[in-house]
Chains A and B, each alone.
Chain A
Amino acid sequence: MTEHTHDLDLIAEFASGEPSDDARRLVEACAECRAEFQLQQEIRNLLASLPAVTLTNEESETLHRSLSPLGGAKVISITERRRAQLWLRVGSVAAGIFVVAGLGTVVASQLGGGAAGGDTAFEALSSPTTTAASDFTTAAAAAELAPAGEESDHGLRQLAGGDESAVRAEMENMLNSYSSSAGATTTGDGAPGADLEQRCSDQLPAGTIVDRAESFLDSKPILIYLVDDSGDVSAVVLDAATCSTIDL
């Protein structure tokens, strides 16, 4: 009795769903080959039954946030994202910050969102126009708007800070300084603030950063941004380490 020389190549071919006539004949004629084929099919079916895997919303956010430097903060829907997430507090008592910049009323805005992703994966990709973890420009522009004070390591105006009331007072000063400065400095090339490097920019509301400073809230370093959105100026406080919004 001739023993089959089982051609596993043919069985593999059959098991992969593309059987030649030779493979088909082999499997039909050889019981052990059929068993091998059936085992292959069972494992294949088992693998196919594994549940689909998707990113969670938080993971997706982290992914997009970490990759936003590639696309440029202005283009990768930073404005759209912030508008979708922007919560307006009109006449907020908690923030206690309001100013009239020509026409509008400031609203204190709070942005939701998870923890900011790190930039470490993309430091090598950072260009001067993209956000890096600790890269600020136009200190001169900031100084032009700023009252006297020391510059931080990042070239920003360094405020004293303190508790919540102290930080609110500093924010009010910033807003008042902004509103009392030339009115035509909100947008446009060359305008102070227009080309400021946007640290933690994806946590900011839509608009133009017109002032920023570093400060401390209960000994924790924070960033204070003024953002002018077509005359509506808001002040935003961010944790300097995580870029998460701090709701005063």
Chain B
Amino acid sequence: MTPAIDDATLLAQVAAGDHSSFAILMQRHQDRVFSVCLRLMGSRHSALDATQETFTTLFRKADQYQGTAAVSTWLYRITVNTCYDLLRKERRRPTEAMPDYLDPADPMGDNPFTSADLRPDIERALGTLSPDFRAVVVLSDIEGYSLPDVAEALELPVGTVKSRLFRARRQLASVLGNHYPDSRHQSNIDQ
């Protein structure tokens, strides 16, 4: 069985003009890219636009990939930046409408934090985060990227990623109606 061609090789082939490699690369990553776009943009229509734009950019910039990060990380950097640009153009946060991609509710669990019925609220709460905070939460807690990879994708120090993640989760908890340790804690998280 012929092993699959790795992403870096495919990308190099795209840069060299091999367009079929572009299709393979796209097929391989389109769902993950779309998932990130959907969480950032808040609607399937906008997410599809962002996904198209992301792969267009990948195609255009294939020759600029330097190999210092994984192709997937580089791709998700493009994805996030594309979504940022589109959100700026839209000049809104996708907080109004409930995202249209939710699964049907599963039976409730005892812990409100684990109840599937809470999922619509989670999605809505995500929309209340700034794009910067939302990006770290999406890449780290939802997509499962390691903190170094998130830092690489977002071109941020790891410490900043941790800080944003921490604050974003706190904000989500607040939006979801849960209290957290009171404010006499001294905060020394970098702003």
Q: Which residues of A contact B (CB under 8 A)?
A: 5-9, 11-13, 15-18, 32-33, 35-36, 39-40, 42-55, 59-60, 62-64, 66-67, 70-72, 75-77, 121-122, 125
Contacts and interface: CB of A to CB of B under 8 A. Distances in A.
Most buried by B among A6, A12, A76, A121: A12
A133 to B, nearest CB: 15
B118 interface: yes
Contact of A53 (B22, B38, B144, B163): B38
B180 A71 contact: no
Contacts of A15: 165-166, 169
Most buried by B among A40, A50, A76: A50
Given A49-B119, A53-B101, 11 more contacts: A8-B185, A33-B181, A43-B173, A50-B123, A60-B30, A63-B52, A70-B19, A71-B59, A75-B19, A77-B23, A125-B56
10 contacts: A7-B188, A16-B140, A32-B181, A39-B178, A42-B113, A49-B114, A49-B116, A50-B123, A55-B34, A122-B56
B34 A53 contact: yes
Given A16-B165, A43-B169, A64-B26, A9 B103 contact: no
Contact of A54 (B23, B35, B60, B122): B35
Contacts of B140: 16
Contacts of B38: 53
Interface string B154-189: 000001001101100110110010101110011111
If over half of B's interface residues share one DSSP class (helix, strand or loop), that class is named, otherwise mixed; here it is helix
Contacts of A48: 141-142, 144
A43 B166 CA distance: 10
B17 to A, nearest CB: 10
